[in-house]
Every structure is written in structure tokens, then in C-alpha cells.
């Protein structure tokens, strides 16, 4: 089954055709990130305008690159309906509805956060080794959630951040340390990896790690980073290293604790921060120690992409309540538990 998906929840305009939820035929993604460098954050109106400029060219290029004559060979359409920026979401949802009407094929509404999970299935020759129940850690710019995935589309919420998302903390501290003013998480991480004079103690606390729950908090770490920076005692790479170590220890610690408690053998990561090298290495090592199989998406499916929106649609549409086209509407405030938006 071929699904054509559209993802426009924030600053990426992405279209993709995926076969049977796992095989990428084509994905076209453009980003308006360079426009947000000046402001140091997404201006929703700017992102929405860029979405409306980019959506038709992206659809066109997707069809051309796929080798298909048009979209009549597509079985279903899928689109991100939230969470995200309303102006950006409207562009993708409107385009997807038009295609669904034009080609008279069903449209499947997808929750972006559930989508991130399915980055683990695309172009992954080992996807059949993903067994349920599994523990899922979604770490992105806007969300940090830990859930128990009992099956496709069946989730139990375990915990999440009480304040900033992990990616948001990365971005704010990256900015403080003089890296990119917009989405500097990856740059901070590269600097942390280059640190040659590591401290022999933990500069920052591991927030909530010893609490008997699965919640997170990263805002205190942000403030602690600012205070340490203001002291002028530590190098930028030391601060980057210590910050990253604190975030990763907490993410890995809570995820492994959940996997042990719920006796699951599979751990799935997803979201932009799942591209983080230290997080991948540390959770893989800890997973090995506790006999858990850990999966992360290919790097191209960590950030926002329509590829896994198609994947999520494929694996969940059978359980999804049928919806009329007019009832498929953007919802910026969906949570990870709104599995069938």
C-alpha cells in the first residue's frame, strides 16, 4: 500500500511516499530554518507564509522524483493535524484535503508525536525485531514524553516534562553559549564531544532522576547553566559537556527504569533530540546491560519528516475511527495520548 503524506507542523515542509509503512519511495523536505536565525526562534506567521509558498512545489517535486505519473496510484493520503503551529498546520491539512478530494482516496489524520515513533520502522531492515510492549521516549523541541506502547496505536502515558522539553533546553543553552540562535542543539553536542578538559565531578544535578515517577524537568538545568556561565570559571566546551551529560543521564536513567518496571525488551526513541550521539550511545550501552533492544530512527527520520507520518498512518489506520473529510481539522495542542486525532 502506498501512502502519500504531508507534514507541515512547524518550519519544515515535507511530502513523502512510503510503501507498506516501511519502504521510502521518496521524501522531499524543505525548511524555513534560515529565516528564523535572525529572530532566534520561529515567528509563527513567517513559518506559515513559507509553508504556503513551499507546499505546492514540494508536492510537485515529490511526484516527479517518485517516477509516478500522478497520484492516482496512491492508495491513501495522510497528514499531520497537530501538535504544532496553527498557521503551518492549516497549510498541510488544506493541501491534503484537496488531494484526497481530487483523487477520491481516504485521508488519515496523524498526530505528529505518534509519527516520530514510526521513524524507527522506515528503511529499517530490523523493524520486525521491534516487539510490543515497548517503552517509547519522544524527545523533540517541544515535547519530552515517556510512554508504554502496548501495540500499534495503544499507549499508556508514563510521564513527561513538567516544564521545558529536552530540545528546548538544548536550544536555549546553545544560544547562551554562543552557538546558533535557532536550534543549536546539534552544535552544542558537537562542542561537548570536543571537550578535552572534562571536570572530574558532575557540575549539574540530574533533575528528578531519583524520584519514583517518569516525569522530567529541564528548566532548573537551564538556570544552573546560566549561573555557571556567568562565573567565567568554565570553558564553553566544559559547560556544553556538563549540560549534555546531565540531560542524557536523566533521559537514559528514566527510560531504562521504565523498561525494567514494565518488563519490556524493546525501547524506541524518536524526535529531533534522538539524533544526539551521546544519547544514542549511552542508551544503547545501558540497554545492552539490562538486556533491552534499543532502536532509534535513521538520522534523516529524527527531525520532522512526512516519511514517518505515512508510516504512522499505515500502522494505525485500521484501528482509527472513520472520519469525514470536513471533520479532519488542525489541532495545535494535541498530546501524545491523542492517538486518533
| Binding stretches for Zn ion (CB under 5 A) | 140, 304
| CA neighbor of 21 nearest in space, from 48, 3, 6 | 3
Nearest approach, Cβ of residue 119 and ligand KG4 (Å): 9
Alpha-carbon distance 295 to 131, whole Å? 11
| Site residues (CB under 6 A) for ligand KG4, limited to 181-200 | 183, 185-186, 189
Alpha-carbon distance 128 to 44, whole Å? 39
The verdict on whether residue 212 carries a ligand-binding annotation is no
Of residues 164 and 304, the one with the C-beta less far from Zn ion:
304
- Contact by Cβ (8 Å): 330, 336: no
Nearest approach, Cβ of residue 250 and ligand KG4 (Å): 14
**DSSP class of residue 153?**
T
Residue partners of 4: CB distance under 8 A and separation at least 6 = 15, 16, 17, 62, 71, 74, 76, 77, 78, 99, 310
Stretch that binds ligand KG4, among 31-39, 137-145, 249-257, 290-298 (CB under 6 A): 137-145
| Site residues (CB under 6 A) for ligand KG4, limited to 233-272 | 271-272
185-193 and 166-176 helices cross at what angle (nearest 10)? 70
| Site residues (CB under 6 A) for ligand KG4, limited to 96-125 | none
The verdict on whether residue 69 carries a ligand-binding annotation is no
In order of 12, 233, 267, the CA distances from 252 in angstroms are 28, 29, 11
Interaction partner, residue 66 (Zn ion, ligand KG4, none; CB < 5-8 Å by kind): none
Of residues 133 and 271, the one with the C-beta less far from Zn ion:
271
Residue with the closest Cβ to Zn ion?
140
Find the binder of ligand KG4 among 137, 304, 306, 315 (CB under 6 A). Answer: 304
With contacts defined by CB under 6 A, how many residues of the chain interact with ligand KG4?
17
Stretch that binds ligand KG4, among 70-78, 199-207, 251-259, 273-281 (CB under 6 A): 273-281
The verdict on whether residue 112 carries a ligand-binding annotation is yes
The verdict on whether residue 185 carries a ligand-binding annotation is yes
Of residues 35 and 68, the one with the C-beta less far from ligand KG4:
35
Give kind and range of the element (H or E) at residue 3. Answer: strand 2-7
DSSP 282-317: HHHHHHHHTT-EEE---GGGTSS-SHHHHHHHHHHG
Stretch that binds ligand KG4, among 124-132, 135-143, 197-205, 214-222 (CB under 6 A): 135-143
- Contact by Cβ (8 Å): 43, 82: no
| CA neighbor of 270 nearest in space, from 113, 127, 128 | 113
Find the binder of ligand KG4 among 87, 92, 119, 141 (CB under 6 A). Answer: 141
- Binding-site sequence positions for Fe cation: 112, 116, 304
Q: Which residues bind ligand KG4 (CB under 6 A)?
A: 140-142, 167, 170-171, 183, 185-186, 189, 271-273, 275-276, 303-304
Amino acid at each position: 500500500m502506498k501512502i502519500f503524506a504531508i507534514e507541515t507542523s512547524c518550519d519544515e515542509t515535507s511530502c513523502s511516499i512510503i510503501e507498506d509503512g516501511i519502504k521510502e519511495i521518496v521524501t522531499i523536505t524543505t525548511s524555513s530554518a534560515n529565516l528564523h536565525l535572525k529572530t532566534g526562534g520561529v515567528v509563527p506567521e513567517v513559518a506559515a507564509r513559507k509553508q504556503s509558498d513551499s507546499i505546492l512545489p514540494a508536492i510537485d517535486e515529490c511526484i516527479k522524483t517518485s517516477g509516478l505519473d500522478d497520484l492516482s496510484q496512491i492508495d491513501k493520503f495522510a497528514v499531520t493535524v497537530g501538535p504544532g503551529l496553527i498557521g503551518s498546520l492549516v497549510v498541510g491539512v488544506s493541501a491534503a484535503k484537496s488531494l484526497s478530494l481530487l483523487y477520491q482516496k481516504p485521508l488519515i489524520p496523524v498526530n505528529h508525536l505518534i509519527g516520530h515513533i514510526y521513524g524507527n520502522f522506515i528503511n529499517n531492515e530490523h523493524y520486525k525485531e521491534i516487539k510490543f510492549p515497548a517503552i517509547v521516549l519522544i524527545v523533540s523541541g517541544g515535547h519530552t514524553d515517556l510512554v508504554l506502547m502496548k501495540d500499534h496505536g495503544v499507549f499508556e502515558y508514563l510521564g513527561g516534562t513538567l516544564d521545558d522539553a529536552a530540545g528546548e533546553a538544548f536550544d536555549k543553552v546553545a544560544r547562551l553559549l554562543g552557538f546558533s540562535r535557532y536550534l543549536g542543539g546539534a552544535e552544542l553536542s558537537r562542542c561537548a564531544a570536543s571537550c578535552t578538559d572534562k571536570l572530574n565531578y558532575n557540575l549539574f544535578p540530574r533533575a528528578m532522576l531519583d524520584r519514583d515517577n517518569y516525569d522530567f524537568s529541564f528548566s532548573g538545568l537551564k538556570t544552573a547553566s546560566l549561573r555557571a556561565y556567568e562565573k567565567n570559571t568554565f570553558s564553553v566546551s566544559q559547560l556544553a559537556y556538563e549540560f549534555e551529560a546531565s540531560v542524557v543521564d536523566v533521559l537514559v536513567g528514566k527510560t531504562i527504569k521504565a523498561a525494567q518496571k514494565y518488563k519490556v525488551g524493546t525501547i524506541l526513541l524518536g524526535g529531533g533530540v534522538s539524533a544526539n550521539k551521546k544519547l544514542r550511545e549511552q542508551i544503547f550501552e545501558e540497554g545492552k546491560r539490562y538486556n533491552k533492544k534499543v532502536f532509534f530512527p535513521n538520522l534523516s527520520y529524527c527531525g520532522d519528516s512526512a516519511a514517518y507520518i505515512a508510516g504512522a498512518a499505515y500502522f494505525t489506520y485500521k484501528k482509527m475511527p472513520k472520519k469525514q473529510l470536513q471533520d479532519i481539522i488542525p489541532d495545535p495542542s494535541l498530546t501524545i495520548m491523542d492517538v486518533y486525532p
